[in-house]
A and B are shown apart, each in its own frame.
Chain A
Amino acid sequence: MSSTFETVAEIISDTCDLPIEEITRESHAIEDLGIDSLDFLDVAFAIDKAFGIKLPLEQWTEEVNEGRAPAEEYFVLGNLCKRIDDLAAAKTA
């Protein structure tokens, strides 16, 4: 069974046409991988489907834009995977 990171990396690789070996847990989706907001919606759609969750993208974007959270908190892949795991766990709780 794939780990959360492996699944997310595969989604990003397929959706954004990026070599999977360039995608690491330390990668910043926007600054390192060059994923724009529209591509990230595609990624979010695939993640929502794969994990049966709803990434709160609008809330995260608002927090980052208002300076209440650094972008790294949500868009560095290791952190994103942790958020996904938390959402998936909350769903089954």
Chain B
Amino acid sequence: MRLEYFDMIDQVMAFDADRKRLTTASNVPMESTVFEGHFPGYPLVPGVLLTETMAQASGFLALILNGFTKMPFLMAVDSVRFRTFVEPGAVLETDAELALEGSGYVATRASISSGGKPVCNGELRLRLMPFPAELSALMRARADKIGLDAVEYAGPA
């Protein structure tokens, strides 16, 4: 994870094509400028960045499902609950599962756990839009970096 660059997902761990569920791993860094303010002497990953982590996992899930034809943008966050603190060095597992696929949007249920214990969970909705020219290559590169290119999904039967 590079918190200050909003680069939250390190590795794709699994993709369940039947359940349309993506599992990813993220390693919280020991140091970050984010921790210098949040909080001095008591570093914690901010809840909004955990929400961003769930959103990015959901976004990568959306990209798999639409074959990288549309760019997902976070549009709504519902019922997010933060259950425990996340400290530097923690290893996070994020699950994002498709809840509903609409026309121009997807809804997901996402959760983060660490060491088998729940960290946070919520329901997210992402708007699907034509890829801005500047983002197509960037998103491909990010996806390849975390191993998304190895995920096989043929689309709905």
A residues within 8 Å of B by Cβ?
A: 38, 41-42, 44-45, 48-49, 54-59, 61
Contact = CB atoms under 8 A, between A and B. Distances in A.
B75 interface: yes
Nearest to A44: B102
Contact of B76 (A42, A55, A61): A42
Given A38-B127, A41-B127, A45-B125, A54 B103 contact: yes
B104 interface: yes
Nearest to A38: B75
Contact-residue bracket for chain B: 10 to 19
3 smallest beta-carbon distances between A and B, as pairs: A57-B103, A58-B103, A58-B104
B87 to A, nearest CB: 35
Contacts of A42: 76, 125
Contacts of A55: 102-103
27 contacts: A38-B127, A41-B75, A41-B102, A41-B105, A41-B127, A42-B76, A44-B102, A44-B103, A44-B104, A44-B105, A45-B100, A45-B105, A45-B107, A45-B125, A48-B100, A48-B102, A49-B100, A54-B101, A54-B102, A54-B103, A55-B102, A55-B103, A57-B102, A57-B103, A57-B104, A58-B103, A59-B103
Nearest to B128: A58
